[in-house]
Amino acid sequence: MSKTETRLSGAGKDPDFAEIFAALGDPTRLAIFDRLSDGQARSIAVLSDDADMTRQAVTKHLHVLETAGLVESHKVGRESRYVFCPDRLALARAWLEHVAGRWDFALMRLKSFAEDDSR
Partner DNA sequence: TGATTGAGCAACCAAAAAGTTGCATTTAAT
Partner DNA sequence: ATTAAATGCAACTTTTTGGTTGCTCAATCA
- Taking CB atoms within 8 Å and a gap of at least 24, the contacts of 90-98 are 91/8, 91/15, 91/17, 91/20, 92/17, 92/20, 92/21, 92/24, 95/17
Binding partner at 49 among its own copies, DNA, none, C-beta below 5 to 8 Å by kind: none
Binding partner at 114 among its own copies, DNA, none, C-beta below 5 to 8 Å by kind: none
Q: Select 19 or 87, whichever has its Cβ closest to DNA.
A: 19
Q: Which listed residue (43, 66, 87, 92) binds DNA by CB under 7 A?
A: 43
Kindly identify the residues of this chain, within the stretch 55-114, that bind DNA according to CB under 7 A: 55-57, 59-61, 64, 73, 75-81
**CB neighbours of 26 closer than 8 A, spacing ≥ 6?**
61, 64
Beta bridge partners of 80: 75
Considering only the stretches 9-17, 39-47, 90-98, 101-109, report the one whose residues sit in contact with DNA under the rule CB under 7 A: 39-47
41 is an interface residue for DNA by CB under 7 A: no
Q: What is the DSSP letter of 26?
A: S
Task: Please name which of 32, 38, 30 lies closest in space to residue 92, comparing C-alpha atoms.
Answer: 30
CB of 75 to DNA, least distance (A): 7
